Amino acid sequence: MGKRTKIAAFLILTLVVLLQGKEGSAQQDPMYTQYMDNLQVLNPGYAGSQGIGNILMVARSQWVEFDGAPATRSFTYNTSYDEQNIGVGFSLMSDQIGPLKQTGFYADYSYFLPVSEKFKLGLGLKGGVSFYRASLVALKTVDSDPVFNHDIYENFLPNVGVGLFLYSETTYFGLSVPKLIDNIIINEDVKTDYINKQQRHMYFVAGHRFDFSEDFQLKTNGMMRWVKSAPLSVDLTVMGGFRDKFWVGAMYRFGDAYGMLVKFNPSPKMSIGYAYDITVSELSAFSSGTHEIMFSYNLDLFGRGGQATAEK
């Protein structure tokens, strides 16, 4: 089988997998307001598309002052190998909602295929494991229930994901499913869908950068997140920049939240971002918003720069 035939087969297989859906009941993957800077977590095809090694750290505290609110931490690194047209990376993630905590380690691989003079297509594969714990013993209950007499541990939940990432110097589109396997977490005492199953999520992302002058830039970004039996989540973000150093913007997550974002680039290698969300759902009466901090630094440990950058 030739290289073009293999690529075509990969594309067809990826699209078939992306368009299939299994029974699910809840959104479980972490949510990010600064998703445009954290695309590697969502789409393995992004790894290496920046053309240089990059470290990214994100800390998110959702629904502050709400007891048991989600708290997410992630660390990613990716780089490119131009001579082979490939990108590699890895990610570490910790996500806790009340007594439920998941940590994971995933590796990413992408192959870049030129599709026009301006655009390249990243074909991505993701693989790794998650570690799961439900701290039921720590919960306060009204009646004595043997279900809460012990915690639940699942120390090895393997998973794989796929993604397509089409990009140029100013535009990008991505379609991905970072976790394809609906892992069943077996426990005879607890029968809730959230605990018993890892749900499959599908993401579509897109963005474009407008350079009006040397002093003023504008970035538009959007994300759709879908999981069966849950509402479609849609984020829209607009940010204006001054001399590519200071950025400020607004976001809206339909039916859920709105907020603001700021970003500062102290140097060409470093970025610091902050986002604040205010929920518009019933939870608004119990929380004082969501805080998210992002730190990015270009550090080319293994690869060589040179590929076209996907502006976000």
Band of the pLDDT at 27, cuts 50, 70, 90? very low
Q: Which percentage of the chain shows pLDDT scores above 70?
A: 71
Band of the pLDDT at 230, cuts 50, 70, 90? confident
pLDDT exceeds 90 at position 109 = yes
Which pLDDT does position 140 carry in this prediction? 53
123-143 pLDDT per residue, tens: 999 999 988 776 555 555 555
What domains appear along the chain, each with residue ranges and CATH number? Answer: 30-299 (2.40.160.40)
105-119: average pLDDT = 96
Alpha carbon distance 285, 279 (integer Å) = 9
164-175: average pLDDT = 97
If we measure between CA atoms, which residue out of 89, 90, 76, 79 comes closest to residue 32? Answer: 76
Report yes or no: 303 and 52 within 8 Å, Cβ to Cβ: yes
> The pTM is what?
0.83
61-79 pLDDT per residue, tens: 887 766 667 889 999 999 9
Which pLDDT does position 81 carry in this prediction? 87
- Cα angle 261-264-268, degrees, rounded to a multiple of 5: 135
Which pLDDT does position 222 carry in this prediction? 98
pLDDT exceeds 80 at position 179 = yes
Question: Any residues with CB less than 8 A from the CB of 243 and at least 6 apart, and which?
Answer: 214, 215
